[in-house]
Amino acid sequence: EKTMANMTLKEKIGQMLIVSDDSTIADEELLNKLKEIKPGGFILFSENVESYEQATKLINDINSTSTIPMFMSIDQEGGRVQRIKSLSDQEVTIFPPMYDLGLTNDEKLAYDVGRIMGEELRAFNINMDFAPVLDIYSNPLNTVIGNRSFGTTSETVSTMALSFSKGLMSTGIIPVYKHFPGHGDTAEDSHHTLPVIIKTKEELMDLELKPFIEAINNGAEIIMVGHLAVPNITQNNTPSSLSNEIVTGLLKEELNFEGLVITDALNMGALTSEYTEEE
């Protein structure tokens, strides 16, 4: 509160942004941009990570621009979403898809996978992981989620994802549960177009929302909202990530989530096909 009281409106807005840049080094231009925006965080992608030494220097240089510690974040899920996969100077663990982990039904193994992943991320000074995926693989036509999911039932997804998260947290990594209110029963890919979920709120409560409710009941600190239209709740095709009915009405008020809400990336086709950058 003391820090907040001394911040300008522009600085407060900066704290609400997680930014990206495809550089491998923090040159003067990047450092000046960061000092001007003062973002709350930075997200690393594969192109930012060539070697352990290079990536650690990049992260430390980015962090040095802010007096408020930044969320240094990454999408490290396992399977086909692993931003740290090969380094020129170190070996890293290649994790299987979470669906394969879910098939084992072994909570201890899920915890260990999260712990090992967390230890490797902490070695870079990363402190936030956009994982686990809480989407239920309930639609076989779903290619964007598919084997990124822990399973085809809410029980498997809830149990295994929460054990995985505990492993991450044991190393000081903040897990981000995604993609609220559930990307599992969609055939469209929100990277390219806006998926529309035609289910009612009651139907979502019976399946998609169950893992999120479990996560909230177990102290989830951050939930990511996906770019998913739910017209039976919003009465239109506004993406959930931009919807007061979904973020405030459903997530915060009905499900009593008091943590941090974050959107999926704002440069994805689901948004850019419908809205300008300014909007």
Residues known to be catalytic: 191, 264
Task: Name residue 262's beta-bridge partners.
Answer: 224
How far is it, in rounded angstroms, from Cα 46 to Cα 92? 14
Contacts of 262 (CB under 8 A, 6+ apart): 18, 176, 222, 223, 224, 225
Q: Calculate the alpha carbon distances from 197 to 143, 209, 212, 268, 273 in Å.
A: 15, 13, 17, 18, 18
The number of beta carbons lying within 10 Å of the beta carbon of residue 198 is 10
| Pair of tokens at residue 205 | 């409560």
DSSP 222-257: EEEEPS-B-HHHHSS--BGGG-HIIIIIIIIIIS--
Q: Calculate the alpha carbon distances from 193 to 24, 178, 187, 208, 268 in Å.
A: 30, 18, 11, 20, 8
